[in-house]
Structure 1
Amino acid sequence: MVQKQKADILKFKEMKRQGKKITMVTAYDFAMMSQVDKSDIDMILVGDSGAMTMMGYETTVQIDLETMLVFCKAVANAGKHTFMVADMPFMTYEIGPEKAMINAARIIREGRMDALKLEGGERIAGTVAALVRSGIPVMGHIGLTPQSAAQLGGFKVQGKSIESAKQIVKDALALERAGAFAITLEAIPSPVAKIITETVQVPTIGIGAGNNCDGQVLVIHDLLGLFDRFTPKFVKRYANLGQDMQNALNTYAREVRDGVFPDKEHSFNMSQDLVEQLQAELQKEGIL
């Protein structure tokens, strides 16, 4: 298999210009990232969704910076050929650009990420601009922003009214002016995503935003069938690894109970002469 070449932000902009779709999934640990890194996926997100998929919380706001750094470090150890973006957790950047800069530096330096993602549009454009000026690539995130879902009335589609759709378009333009290299569009009507994608010069990455975006992102646990607490409408399941894992675990448990596993193929042996010699010496020393 030909080893893929790691993309960068200039490559993503060129892909938009050429009409080539960008592929992105989440990853949170070394094992999962090892598989993604060998795949055709262009970009991964160490998402704050790990609060739900990896830690069992109800929302994304429970995850803190230290935990995100653990996930980032694990992913970076396997991410040799895939562009890596990390979410900045809730309240690590909202306080202001100075605090955001300190926290962002840790994710880039300690977490070894290639870029960061921040939720919000016009309200955080100044912070995005400050991070970009410091040399940190930033991806924006507008529409349904899970960290502020309570303010938005829950995990609901955004931009369904004229006024809210106009605001999302304004948010996209503000992020582009601030220097964001790409913008995630989550849970907005496809026509609104199309307008944004055709208006901004940077790539748009959709999740529940239709097929007109420049790329798509899904939570890897959703697309592989590893998370079944709920399934958003925009998720397509490409495998059912959760069921496969249950089948494998049940087979393992049955074979252990039946004495089938481990068999000779999965055990280590020694010659009968050595066994007899060992027993004789243990008996001589009074151990047996």
Structure 2
Amino acid sequence: MLASTGDLVAAARASGGAVGAFNVITIEHAEAIVAGAESARLPVILQISENAVRFHHGRLAPIAAAARAIAASASVPVALHLDHVESDELLAEAVINGFGSVMYDASRLPYAANVGATASAVKRCHAQGLWVESELGEIGGKGGAHAKGARTDPAEAAAFVTATGVDALAVAVGSSHAMVTRSARLDHDLIARLAAAVPVPLVLHGSSGVPDDELTRAVHGGMAKINIGTALNTAFTGTVRAALGTHPDLVDPRRYLASARTAMAETVTTALQVLRSGVLPA
């Protein structure tokens, strides 16, 4: 069933847990994410990034329609989120393609320019009923503005939220995008200070490289939305590679994509259970 990202994040935050947000690249990703969430009996967020849209020849509508249909038929609440949007043109496509939320990313700009661009985007998005996430602190793993080792300052984060009106804030606390090993160590003291200073939910990007115990501590510390992408791709690619290595004569993609989809679903189920593990009893 389709749900609102804002509602899922608010409910997770209120219960002391976090909601998982997983990157969709192919239809198999979307199917696997929902299957994994149904197995865990937990809500989930399907997110499509600007990079994924670029992979689909710059066309958002086809992959968005598939994700929306898969979400609508799910037995658990599923939200649609447009992630890491830098293009104003793509931002304008969010509502007409069924998204309830966006992550507007102006983090490559200097602070003052980031504030101005984000405030403008928030005003436009709120007028359309969109929940808006943004980023401050240059989260590592993408080069350029996403510098490894960067950290978000709590006072600056609080000022940024006030100036822009964002509904959630992604912060840099030690994770990094595109990690294929789970070796990241988070700054939990900083997470606690950010949670105390920032009035909106906190988001952790680059969570594929964060071990389970670190994720659990981050959720306890105040992280309410946890983004995971590379872990799915690792499961997908590893399974396909193994299948083709064992059966080099395979030509029907259904023969190996089915097992890859299952591997991603299992990854989602495990991750959601970790994020739910700290939830306070009802």
Query: TM-score normalised to the size of structure 1?
Result: 0.60
The one-letter code matched in structure 1 to 2:32 is: Q
Q: CA deviation at 1:206?
A: 0.8
1:74 aligns with 2:66: yes
Query: TM-score normalised to the size of structure 2?
Result: 0.61
The one-letter code matched in structure 2 to 1:133 is: A
1:216 aligns with 2:223: no
Structure 2 portions without partners, runs of 5+: 108-113, 175-186, 208-213, 256-282
Does the aligned pair in 2 maintain the 1:28–1:75 contact within 8 Å? no
Residue in 2 that maps onto 1:117 = 103
Q: State how far apart, in whole Å, the 2-side matches of 1:88 and 1:244 are.
A: 28
Cα displacement string for residues 96-141 of structure 1 (whole angstroms, at most 9, x for unaligned residues): xxxxxx64332220x2211111114524342123321342221112
Identity percentage of aligned residues: 10
Q: CA deviation at 1:249?
A: 2.0
Selected match of 2:79 from 71, 79, 83: 83
Q: State how far apart, in whole Å, the 2-side matches of 1:170 and 1:156 are.
A: 19
Does the aligned pair in 1 maintain the 2:85–2:91 contact within 8 Å? no
The one-letter code matched in structure 1 to 2:93 is: R
Between the two proteins, the alignment pairs up a number of residues equal to 211
Q: State how far apart, in whole Å, the 2-side matches of 1:255 and 1:130 are.
A: 49
Structure 1 13/254 Cα, relative in aligned 2: closer, same or farther at 3 Å?
Answer: closer
Q: CA deviation at 1:85?
A: 0.7
Q: State how far apart, in whole Å, the 1-side matches of 2:147 and 2:34 are.
A: 30
Q: State how far apart, in whole Å, the 1-side matches of 2:129 and 2:79 are.
A: 16
Computing the radius of gyration over CA atoms, which structure comes out larger, 1 or 2? 1
Indicate the SS of the match to 2:193.
Answer: helix
- Could you say what the CA RMSD is over the residues aligned between the two structures, in angstroms? 3.5
Q: CA deviation at 1:28?
A: 2.4
Cα displacement string for residues 122-161 of structure 1 (whole angstroms, at most 9, x for unaligned residues): 24342123321342221112222579942x3x541212xx
Does the aligned pair in 1 maintain the 2:49–2:83 contact within 8 Å? yes
Higher percent of residues as helix: 2
Does the aligned pair in 1 maintain the 2:85–2:102 contact within 8 Å? no
Indicate the SS of the match to 1:183.
Answer: strand
Does the aligned pair in 1 maintain the 2:157–2:198 contact within 8 Å? no
Indicate the SS of the match to 1:20.
Answer: coil
Structure 1 portions without partners, runs of 5+: 56-62, 94-101, 160-164, 228-239, 262-288
